[in-house]
Amino acid sequence: MHPTARKFADQVRDSHGFEVTIEEFPEGTKTADDAAAAVGCDVAQIVKSIVMRVGDETVVVLTSGANRVDEATLASEFGVEQGSVRSANPGEVKEATGWSIGGVPPTCHATDCPVLADPTFESFDRIWAAAGTPKAVFRLTPGDLQTLSEPQFVDVFE
């Protein structure tokens, strides 16, 4: 197992008492379509961890692989101007979450940034999320996502 995926598995176990089974794919799972093809599920079951800057705040938005973040709705949710919402750059992602783009899991972030989640996940028995690297994923349920990430389920997606 890649050392970064092992680090994630150890952190989620130590922080939440949750044992993950990590699956690694040499061809990578960088996009939601890649991840869905690798694990054999619908793209909507893939948890994309999108890190956004919303005003002066960094926010992790857990988006179904079938959806996109609606920046205008996200701005409204946080009461900021639409122009002050953007994707975080790689340095901001790493600083806020401790993970690199493409491998950001839905939990075990380096800072206590807000986490929002797509209500779409609640319609599935199981979902898949990044496990620390762009080549590693783990399976969880929507209930697990709620327990591990403590997200606010809000519809800021298109």
pLDDT tens, position by position, 11-40? 999 999 999 999 999 888 878 998 899 999
pLDDT tens, position by position, 95-123? 999 999 999 999 999 999 999 999 999 99
In one-letter notation, the amino acid at residue 10 is D
Structure tokens given for 93: 């992602």
CB 137 within 8 A of CB 29: yes
Alpha-carbon distances of 113 from 59, 152, 158, rounded to whole Å = 6, 12, 22
Full set of structural domains in the chain with CATH: 3-153 (3.90.960.10)
CB burial readout 117-139, b (16+ within 10 A) else e: bbebbeeeeebbbbbbbbbbbbb
Q: How confident is the model at residue 82 (pLDDT cuts 50, 70, 90)?
A: confident
Give percent of the chain with pLDDT exceeding 90: 89
pLDDT score of 10: 97
Q: How confident is the model at residue 138 (pLDDT cuts 50, 70, 90)?
A: very high
